């Protein structure tokens, strides 16, 4: 059962509570997940640590501690392709069937000729566990465990017979190893057995000379792709005092004062096409470099490296009441019925913590589970679903000041643009590159799962927009030049693949689908032509290449071609229920509450739909959001937080945060005790989606403006502050404070110069002596220029109301690169 509180009725007591606490000194509560009981058998209670290469789930169990291990390249299979080469010859037939309204027949044919007959994607796999067995530690007191997300260190402590035992563990960013440190308050008290426990077949575990343990193996075959990924893990124990004995596959520590365990894991993976690396040498080399450093040095350097990312954003909504004193699982239970603003900031920062921990330059991008998986057959293979989930993982990257962490995704897109060239050519006879709705470590581009899901041809197009977004935030032309061909390749695919719709005359993709959804009118088939989301994606792909070509001063003729093609795309349409149409025909069911609301891509992450520029489409998008309802899978609710923020409705966005921050139950969505998002099962996208959405409630930088406090919920009006958010166009919101819903002070740094068009909820003045003009006409700042979209086509049956917008103030300020601009409430 979800709780969704009636904000209107309950707001007053909370506002009073917040006001009474506003002056309290407890605003800076430590950012920790903490518990007064061990994880037991439940992986989703365990605390995640990671350094982008290695991930671990720390159980904090007393008698048998489990450190469940992952390495970013340990996947099933080996280099492979999965295109279905029958597609090209049947394309004409499939198109004809769809244009004739025979979607089901088209789907049956597509299942034979488009869907892969080979791999449907490989699996991200666990390495195994390091386990520590403490004989006689079955009865204990003063149990405590935490994950300090400001230090990126997990800690467990408990007492037995007056002796306090403490274990700390981290995944070092600079040293590339996982390190555990075990201490006891009395000398010679640490006695335990350490061993690796295999998770997968084909695994060897043993003890080695020099107080080492090893785990090694080769991953499994999957869907007839041979497992060729070899991995090696080594754990080395360093002890102070006591003795260490070794058995075949374990080490026995007796009466030590302190023990430090260094874990290094590596694989033979060089790149998606090459597994000739030496996992043994790699694992040993990282281990040997780290093992000479004592725990305190490892911990200090790790936290320092971590905080270089983490500390860029500080977010404060006030401490809240008694709830803030509860363990994290208890807070989660109460959240929907209490005002616990610090829990929101904890959850927000946990999203940033997770991205820092699972996505580091040079590593693999965050999978459906980031870098944390304990299952031999993980849900959806814990791979990359690129019709929403992978993109969502990276929504917080730029805006929450973690742009470097976008790199693994950007690299994957570059690689997909190479492997996807062959797919575009062989399957669809098109130039450029493409990907369907999934990919994996081996950068497959073929169609998987079944045509209903897998015939969607826009994975490449959508992902390419992450490359463009990275540019919009930094303005780095050298970078743009380096990815231009990838962007152009995404556009080339569409330029070749679009066909004229026989009835409407628009240029459409056929076969196409609106991810994973089907209108009843199509006999349960998702296959169609020219669906709204696809048209929006192509609009963005073409527009970004047109603008990139102009920024780089190249390819003007190609840009003209794209402009011509763009003008023939279908316009967005408003259907009979006042909804934004999901499909080309007005066949939406207003009672459909499907988790994918793909046609709102145009509202977020794209900004084709705007309350100010396209009021009719904005109202239609709102109707769609209302018709689809709130409660859904975790990631769907994460997306909805962003959409309601773009709707400028902070209370509704907050309601979605409440729905998401509800203990996982029998229904859809929710959150696990360790604050992992629940589809269910665990899927990390919802964590990242919500962190992005909360940012959008506080600051938006699209639609021609940088908007501050666009969607504050009533519960946060009283007081708050945030530092370090990044905006498109090279602006950084160094800090922002608000009180009683009004912007009190904002400090903005301009890195590129250009016009800053500021939209704020109250009148402000410059405190740095610059002229602030009332905003007028088109924003001259190129980063904020919006592409004109075609007027919507509106059904005669539709009623579309005018948006009811709160008053805002907009200013134009001419900025210089490298300068700070301070604004204060007037």
Nearest CB to ligand FUC, comparing residues 454 and 475? 454
Three-class secondary structure assignment of 443-504: CCCCECCCHHHHCCCCHHHHHHHHHHHHHHHHCCHHHHHHHHHHHHHHHHHHHHHCEECCCC
Both structure tokens of 675: 């604050």
Q: How far is the CB of 596 from ligand FUC (least distance, A)?
A: 6
Q: How far is the CB of 390 from ligand FUC (least distance, A)?
A: 9
Q: How far is the CB of 526 from ligand FUC (least distance, A)?
A: 11
Helices (H) and strands (E) in the chain, counts: 19, 33
Nearest CB to ligand FUC, comparing residues 360 and 385? 385
Nearest CB to ligand FUC, comparing residues 223 and 426? 223
Find, among 753, 747, 737, the residue nearest to 698 by Cα.
737
- Looking from the CA of 534 toward its CB, the CA atoms found within 13 Å total 27
Whole-number CA gyration radius for the chain? 27
Only one residue has tokens 């007492």, namely 159
Only one residue has tokens 């699972």, namely 358
SS3 percent helix, strand, coil of the chain, rounded to 5, is 35, 25, 40
Q: How far is the CB of 636 from ligand FUC (least distance, A)?
A: 7
How far apart are alpha carbons 428 and 114 in whole angstroms? 10
Check whether the bond before 681 is cis (ω within 30° of 0).
Answer: yes
Q: How far is the CB of 444 from ligand FUC (least distance, A)?
A: 16
Nearest CB to ligand FUC, comparing residues 378 and 730? 378
Q: How far is the CB of 388 from ligand FUC (least distance, A)?
A: 7
Nearest CB to ligand FUC, comparing residues 480 and 641? 641
Q: How far is the CB of 383 from ligand FUC (least distance, A)?
A: 9
The residues facing 244 across adjacent strands are 253
Q: Is the dihedral of CA 394, 674, 677, 315 positive or negative?
A: negative
Nearest CB to ligand FUC, comparing residues 53 and 599? 599
Both structure tokens of 607: 């900004």
Only one residue has tokens 């290449």, namely 545
Nearest CB to ligand FUC, comparing residues 39 and 367? 367
CB atoms within 10 A of CB 614: 22
Nearest CB to ligand FUC, comparing residues 473 and 635? 635
| CB crowding 706-718: b at 16 or more within 10 Å, else e | bbbbbbbbbbbbb
Both structure tokens of 755: 């016009």
Nearest CB to ligand FUC, comparing residues 2 and 594? 594
Q: How far is the CB of 634 from ligand FUC (least distance, A)?
A: 8
According to DSSP, the β-strands at 64-71 and 54-58 are: antiparallel
Nearest CB to ligand FUC, comparing residues 329 and 512? 512
Binding residues for ligand FUC, per CB under 6 A? 368, 380, 385, 389, 516, 595-596, 633, 635, 679, 683
Adjacency order of strands within the sheet including 163-171: 32-35, 141-148, 153-160, 163-171, 178-184, 258-267, 230-240, 212-218, 203-208
Nearest CB to ligand FUC, comparing residues 258 and 512? 512
Q: How far is the CB of 683 from ligand FUC (least distance, A)?
A: 6
The residues facing 160 across adjacent strands are 163
Q: How far is the CB of 635 from ligand FUC (least distance, A)?
A: 6
Both structure tokens of 647: 């709707």
Q: How far is the CB of 595 from ligand FUC (least distance, A)?
A: 6
Q: In 3-state terms, what secondary structure has residue 15? A: helix
């Amino acid at each position: 059962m979800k709780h969704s509180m009636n904000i209107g009725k309950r707001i007053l007591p909370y506002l009073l509570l917040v006001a009474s606490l506003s002056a309290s000194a407890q605003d800076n509560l430590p950012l920790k997940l903490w518990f007064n009981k061990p994880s037991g058998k439940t992986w989703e209670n365990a605390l995640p640590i990671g350094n982008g290469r290695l991930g671990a789930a720390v159980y904090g169990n007393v008698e048998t501690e489990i450190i469940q291990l992952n390495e970013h390249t340990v996947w099933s299979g080996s280099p492979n392709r999965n295109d279905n080469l029958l597609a090209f010859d049947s394309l004409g037939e499939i198109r004809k069937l769809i244009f004739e309204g025979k979607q089901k027949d088209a789907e049956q044919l597509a299942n034979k000729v488009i869907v892969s007959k080979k791999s449907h994607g490989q699996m991200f796999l666990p390495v195994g566990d390091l386990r520590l067995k403490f004989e006689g530690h079955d009865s204990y007191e003063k149990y405590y465990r935490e994950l300090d997300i400001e230090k990126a260190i997990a800690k467990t402590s408990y007492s037995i017979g007056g002796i306090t035992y403490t274990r700390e563990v981290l995944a070092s960013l600079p040293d590339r190893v996982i390190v555990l440190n075990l201490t006891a308050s009395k000398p010679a008290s640490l006695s335990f057995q350490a061993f690796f426990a295999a998770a997968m077949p084909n695994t060897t575990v043993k003890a080695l000379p020099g107080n080492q343990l090893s785990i090694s193996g080769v991953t499994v075959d999957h869907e007839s792709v041979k497992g060729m990924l070899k991995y090696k893990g080594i754990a080395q124990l360093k002890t102070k005092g006591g003795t260490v004995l070794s058995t075949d596959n374990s080490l026995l520590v007796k009466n030590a004062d302190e023990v430090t365990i260094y874990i290094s894991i590596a694989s033979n993976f060089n790149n998606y096409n090459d597994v000739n690396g030496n996992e043994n040498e790699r694992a040993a080399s990282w281990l040997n470099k780290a093992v000479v450093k004592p725990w305190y040095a490892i911990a200090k350097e790790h936290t320092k490296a971590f905080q270089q990312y983490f500390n860029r954003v500080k977010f404060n909504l006030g401490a809240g009441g008694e709830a803030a004193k509860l363990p994290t699982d208890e807070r989660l239970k109460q959240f929907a019925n209490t005002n616990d603003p610090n829990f929101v900031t904890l959850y927000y920062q946990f999203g940033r913590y997770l991205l820092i921990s699972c996505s580091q330059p040079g590593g693999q991008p965050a999978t459906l589970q980031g870098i944390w998986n304990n299952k031999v057959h993980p849900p959806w293979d814990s791979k990359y679903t690129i019709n929403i989930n992978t993109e969502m993982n990276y929504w917080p990257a730029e805006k929450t000041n973690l742009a470097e962490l976008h790199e693994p995704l950007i690299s994957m897109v570059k690689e997909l643009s190479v492997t996807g060239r062959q797919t575009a050519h062989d399957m669809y006879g098109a130039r450029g590159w493409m990907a369907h709705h999934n990919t994996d470590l081996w950068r497959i581009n073929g169609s998987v799962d079944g045509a209903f899901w897998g015939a969607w041809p826009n994975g490449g197009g959508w992902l390419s927009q992450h490359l463009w977004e990275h540019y919009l935030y930094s303005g780095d032309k050298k970078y743009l030049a380096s990815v231009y061909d990838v962007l152009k390749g995404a556009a080339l695919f569409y330029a070749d693949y679009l066909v004229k719709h026989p009835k409407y005359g628009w240029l459409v993709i056929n076969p196409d689908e609106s991810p994973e959804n089907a209108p009843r009118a199509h006999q349960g088939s998702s296959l169609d032509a020219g669906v709204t989301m696809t048209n929006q994606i192509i609009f963005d792909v073409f527009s970004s290449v047109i603008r990139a070509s102009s920024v780089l001063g190249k390819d003007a003729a190609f840009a003209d071609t794209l402009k011509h093609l763009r003008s023939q795309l279908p316009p967005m349409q408003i259907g009979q229920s006042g909804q934004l149409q999901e499909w080309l025909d007005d066949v939406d069911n207003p009672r459909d509450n499907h988790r994918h609301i793909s046609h709102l891509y145009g509202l977020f992450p794209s900004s084709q739909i705007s309350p100010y520029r396209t009021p009719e489409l904005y109202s239609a998008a709102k109707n769609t959001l209302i018709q689809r309802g709130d409660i859904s899978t975790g990631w769907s609710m994460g997306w909805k937080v962003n959409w309601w923020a773009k709707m400028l409705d902070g209370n509704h966005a907050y309601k979605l945060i409440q729905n998401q921050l509800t203990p996982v139950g029998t229904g859809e969505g929710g959150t696990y005790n360790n604050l992992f998002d629940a589809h269910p099962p665990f899927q990390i996208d919802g964590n990242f989606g919500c962190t992005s959405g909360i940012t959008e409630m506080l600051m938006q930088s699209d639609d021609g403006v940088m908007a501050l406090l666009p969607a504050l919920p009533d519960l946060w009006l009283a007081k708050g502050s945030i530092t370090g958010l990044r905006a498109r166009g090279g602006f950084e919101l160094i800090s922002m404070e608000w009180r009683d819903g009004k912007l009190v002070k904002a400090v903005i740094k301009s890195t590129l110069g250009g016009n800053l068009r500021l939209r704020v909820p109250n009148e402000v003045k410059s405190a740095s002596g610059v002229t602030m003009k009332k905003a007028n006409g088109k924003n001259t700042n190129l980063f904020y220029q919006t592409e004109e979209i075609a007027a919507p086509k509106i059904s005669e049956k539709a009623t579309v109301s005018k948006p009811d917008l709160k008053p805002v103030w907009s200013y134009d300020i001419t900025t210089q690169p490298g300068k700070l601009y301070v604004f204060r409430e007037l």
